[in-house]
Amino acid sequence: MLQNPLKGIALKLGSVVVFITMASLIKAAGVPAGQAVFFRSFFAIPVIVAWLALRGELATGFAVINPWGHVLRGVMGSTAMGLGFAGLLYLPLPDATALGYAAPLLTVVFAAAILGEKVRLFRYSMVALGMTGVVIVLWPNLGHAASDGAALGAILVLVGAVFSALAQITIRRLVQVEKTPAIVFYFSITSTVLGLASLPFGWVMPSAWHGVMLVGAGLLGGLGQILLTSSYRWADASVVAPFEYASILFALGIGYVVFAEVPSGAMLSGAALVVLAGVLIIWRERRLGLKESVA
Domain ranges for the chain, please list them.
Answer: 5-294
Q: Pinpoint the alpha helices (H) of 43-179.
A: 45-55, 58-62, 67-88, 93-100, 102-114, 121-142, 148-174
Mean pLDDT of 73-91: 94
Model confidence at 295, pLDDT cuts 50, 70, 90, reads very low
Model pTM score: 0.89
Mean pLDDT for the stretch of residues 161-177:
89
CB < 8 Å & 24+ apart, contacts of 117-121 = none
The pLDDT value recorded for residue 1 is 53
Q: What is the mean pLDDT of residues 259-275?
A: 90
Predicted confidence (pLDDT) per residue in 24-68, tens digit: 999 999 999 999 999 999 999 999 999 989 888 888 778 888 899
pLDDT > 60? residue 71 = yes
What are 131-148's pLDDT values in tens digits? 999 989 888 877 655 566
Closest to 95 measured CA to CA, from 15, 1, 40, 158: 158
Better-scored residue on pLDDT, 111 or 216: 216
The distance of Cα 249 from the centroid of its chain, to the nearest Å, equals 16
Confidence at 158, pLDDT banded by 50, 70, 90: very high
Residues 23, 17: Cα–Cα separation, whole Å: 10
Percent helix, strand and coil across the chain, each to the nearest 5: 85, 0, 15
